[in-house]
């Protein structure tokens, strides 16, 4: 799609951006007394449809579907967005492996994401039949390795590490190959933030440097070896290492609280999207809009979960993400 052809799509996106929730709307949602009131508030804002009435999770899933439908209607090259769907695709791979390796009577109820390039049922059939070559090249080897690891060791965490690392590698490779700067920046941020998350969680659970290096993916803005060794040395060593990188604020968030750190992880991605508000002739604003919508849906999910669990408004507010608008 030529740059000038994006002008129409970007104009539509600018109109849609006015409907994104800003911080004031999020505060109104937090101010609702119950989950039921929150759902009513969302429905009054046009969230969900007739089939999702009163069902919070169904409303959120429908909003994600609507986002992709909107982008498809614009007639843009959808392959640009493949990298955004990798987390869901690799999640489905993980769910399929766990289902295939578990006896029928004790199978977990694995939740699959719909609207992925390989439908959930097909993914399960591939794994059950051990036809790993039917998977995209970047998935085939890790799928086989994770399947065999789970089958022989029954170690669900090892299966998770193999697939999660493969997902990060796939995202990073897509970023390296991308023509659009926004995809390169997105991939770099996603991988770096994931590596920092792994370091923080591994430090808290006493994981080895070898475990961390297996779980972390290489990227340009962090040295995985140094980050893993810092995590092995304690949380202060992690914040000290981060202070010399582009992710110094992440170190400050770690020092503040676990919820502040989780919030920073998502906010960091939204910060990278901000310059797209001023783009006109590229796919950037479309990618930024999709990410903004996914962030918005995630934030609403956090609020609904908080209401379900009886958290105070202040406690919920501490967990919510920065909005794009």
- Whether residue 163 contacts residue 148, with contact meaning beta carbons closer than 8 Å, is answered with no
Six token digits for residue 104: 């029928």
Of residues 79 and 48, the one with the higher pLDDT is 48
DSSP string, 197-244: HHHHHHHHHT--HHHHHHH----SSS-HHHHHHHHHT-HHHHHHHHTT
Tokens of 229: 């060794």
> Which is higher by pLDDT, 319 or 32?
32
* pLDDT in the model for residue 274: 83
| The predicted structure's pLDDT at residue 301 | 96
- Please count the other Cβ atoms lying within 10 Å of the Cβ belonging to residue 146: 25
Q: Which range, 84-88, 145-149, 257-261, has the best average confidence (pLDDT)? A: 145-149
Q: Which pLDDT does position 7 carry in this prediction?
A: 86
Whole-angstrom Cα distance, residue 45 to residue 48?
A: 9
DSSP string computed for 133-176: GGS-HHHHHHHHHHHHHHHHH--HHHHHHHHHHHHHHHHHHHHH
pLDDT of residue 90: 97
Which pLDDT value is given to residue 114?
Answer: 81
**pLDDT at residue 1 greater than cutoff 60:** no
The predicted model gives 184-200 an average pLDDT of 96
pLDDT at 273: 83
- Summarize the confidence of residues 35-56 as an average pLDDT: 95
Please tell me the pTM assigned to this model.
Answer: 0.88
In the Cβ-directed half-sphere of 244, how many Cα atoms lie within 13 Å? 9
* Averaged pLDDT, 155-182: 94
pLDDT higher than threshold 60 for residue 140: yes
- Greater confidence (27 vs 116) lies with 27
Mean pLDDT of the chain: 92
What digits encode the pLDDT tens for the residues 88-123? 999 999 999 999 998 776 666 668 888 788 999 999
Q: Between helices 248-256 and 235-242, what is the axis angle to 10°?
A: 150
Per-residue burial over 272-291, b if 16 or more Cβ lie within 10 Å, else e, is: bbeebeebeebbbbbbbbbb
How far from the centroid of its chain's Cα atoms is residue 299's Cα?
12
CB of 4 closer than 8 Å to CB of 281: yes
* Mean pLDDT, range 198-220, rounded to an integer: 96
């Amino acid at each position: 799609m030529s740059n000038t052809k994006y002008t129409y799509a970007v104009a539509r996106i600018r109109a849609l951006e006015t409907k994104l929730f800003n911080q004031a709307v999020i505060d109104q949602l937090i101010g609702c007394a119950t989950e039921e009131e929150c759902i009513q508030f969302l429905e009054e804002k046009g969230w969900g449809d007739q089939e999702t009435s009163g069902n919070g999770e169904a409303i959120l899933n429908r909003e994600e579907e609507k986002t992709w439908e909107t982008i498809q209607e614009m007639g843009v090259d959808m392959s640009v967005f493949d990298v955004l769907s990798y987390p869901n695709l690799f999640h489905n791979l993980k769910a399929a492996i766990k289902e295939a390796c578990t006896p029928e009577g004790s199978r977990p109820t694995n939740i699959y994401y719909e609207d992925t390039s390989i439908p959930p049922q097909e993914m399960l059939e591939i794994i059950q039949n051990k036809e790993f070559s039917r998977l995209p090249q970047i998935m085939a080897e890790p799928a086989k390795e994770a399947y065999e690891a789970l089958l022989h060791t029954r170690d669900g965490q090892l299966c998770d590490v193999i697939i999660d690392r493969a997902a990060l590698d796939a995202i990073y490779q897509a970023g390296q190959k991308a023509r659009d700067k926004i995809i390169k920046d997105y991939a770099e941020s996603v991988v770096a933030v994931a590596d920092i998350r792994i370091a923080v969680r591994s430090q808290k659970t006493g994981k080895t440097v070898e475990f961390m290096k297996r779980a972390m993916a290489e990227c340009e803005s962090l040295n995985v070896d140094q980050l893993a060794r810092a995590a092995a040395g304690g949380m202060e060593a992690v914040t000290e290492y981060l202070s010399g990188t582009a992710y110094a604020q992440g170190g400050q968030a770690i020092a503040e609280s676990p919820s502040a750190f989780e919030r920073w992880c998502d906010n960091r991605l939204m910060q990278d999207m901000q310059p797209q508000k001023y783009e006109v002739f590229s796919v950037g604003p479309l990618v930024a809009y999709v990410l903004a919508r996914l962030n918005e849906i995630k934030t609403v999910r956090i609020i609904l979960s908080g209401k379900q669990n009886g958290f105070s408004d202040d406690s919920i507010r501490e967990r919510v993400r920065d909005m794009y608008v």
